[in-house]
Amino acid sequence: MTCIWRKFFLGFLGRCVVLCMALSSLIVSVVQAQQAELPHMPTVEISAAAIKREHIQMAVAVKGAISKHVGGLAYVEADSRNTVRIRPIGTGRVISVDVLQGQNVHKGQVLLKYQNFVMSDEKDRLAVTQAALQEARAQQANAQQLYQRGKMLSGGALSVSEVERRKIALQEAVALVHQREAEVHNLLEHLGRYDSNTEQSHNGVSFIVSPLDGTVMNVSVASGQDISENGAPPIEICDLSHVWVVTQVDANTASEIRKGNEQLTWTDPDEPPIQSVVDIVEGNVDAATQHVLILSLVNNSNGQLKVGMYVQTRIFLSHKVSGVIIPQAAVQKFEGVSVVFVKTSAGHYTARPVTLGPSLDGNIVITEGVSAGDTVVTNGSFILKEQAVFTQDTQTTPNGG
């Protein structure tokens, strides 16, 4: 029985050895096949004098990470939440419009003037009502005197019923005074509406003023036109201290963008960018453009962003790609493969295939092919590439000709 198990075990072990040898052969074949797909990577020899003469520069690869990002053209929109649509309180005819669309205005600045017909009518009614109030007060004073004299003569020269009649007349006079006072109060409140943070009045003319520092977004009236509080707002003012920067990105990229991601905005490539964060990632894809809108509320206190203008943005995605960082100028294409020339010894530089990550501001992440501490050729790397191509062509040409 022991011999049988020994034979079985030895047979099983032999089959395992054969299987391992087959797998090893397969792995070697796959590696060789992958290597066969890559062109031969040459080493270029170049002297220190040539490096100096051609202004070739070097850099040392360092460990680091760069966030994936998306950049593109964006446009500026006003924040409608900070837009004031100003309507007249009364009804009348425009005398003058004192601002233009796009003009910056300050709080309290006159925007337009109009002849206020309603206010004129209300002032006339107020004058009539105030006169009626004075008359009612005179009647009240007279009724008060008659009633006081009646009480003194009651039961003598005047009957009790006459005194009672005079008392009722006094009560009616007091009630009339209260009525006239209420009417005057209501009319004064109506007229008080024409002196507010958006309108001021004088001698039948109302001045519509800006309630805030901002920019005139729309003017829809002209001199001689009629306006009323129920019509379209003749002027719209917007506080542009913060504006929306709207970037269009494709749906796949938008799925990687999150609220709070860092954003940079440039009005001029030579000026520092404006920093902000993503506030809104719209959920719908525009059927016409197949893009998603990304909105960032940007500080515009210096007024450099104008509504409707186009800007450049860069939105950083949620994750970073780690590797080694080198200047992007070091990367060349050699027979369709991205390569970097790495210093292998004094005067010798070998082209190494590399796997590229994201780039940013002239630097790029290399995830494979270069190690931290390697010295790579940056500016002038194309000269080494040309030398490598020339050397390879010479080696592959029969008799060197």
pLDDT in tens, 305-321: 999 999 999 999 867 88
Query: What is the arithmetic mean of pLDDT over 261-284?
Result: 92
CB 224 within 8 A of CB 93: yes
Contact predicate 217/209, CB 8 Å: no
- Domains defined for the chain, CATH in brackets: 40-66+321-400 (2.40.420.20), 70-80+239-319 (2.40.30.170), 81-238 (2.40.50.100)
pLDDT at 384 over 90: no
Mean pLDDT over 366-374 rounds to 94
User: Looking at the predicted structure, is the pLDDT value of residue 240 above 70?
Assistant: yes
Give the number of other CB atoms < 10 A from CB of residue 99: 19
| Low-confidence winner among 96-100, 112-116, 120-124, 214-218 (lowest mean pLDDT) | 120-124
The confidence band for 14, taking pLDDT boundaries of 50, 70 and 90, is: low
pLDDT score at 27: 33
pLDDT on residue 193: 75
Is the pTM higher than 0.85? Answer: no
Q: What is the mean pLDDT of the chain?
A: 85
Angle (deg, nearest 10), helices 160-192 and 117-153 = 160
Asked if residue 57 lies in contact with residue 161, where contact means CB atoms within 8 angstroms, the answer is no
Spatial separation of the C-alpha atoms in residues 349 and 44, rounded to whole Å: 5
User: pLDDT-based confidence at 23, cuts 50/70/90?
Assistant: very low
How far apart are the C-alpha atoms of 248 and 250, rounded to whole Å? 7
Fill in the DSSP letter of residue 257.
Answer: -
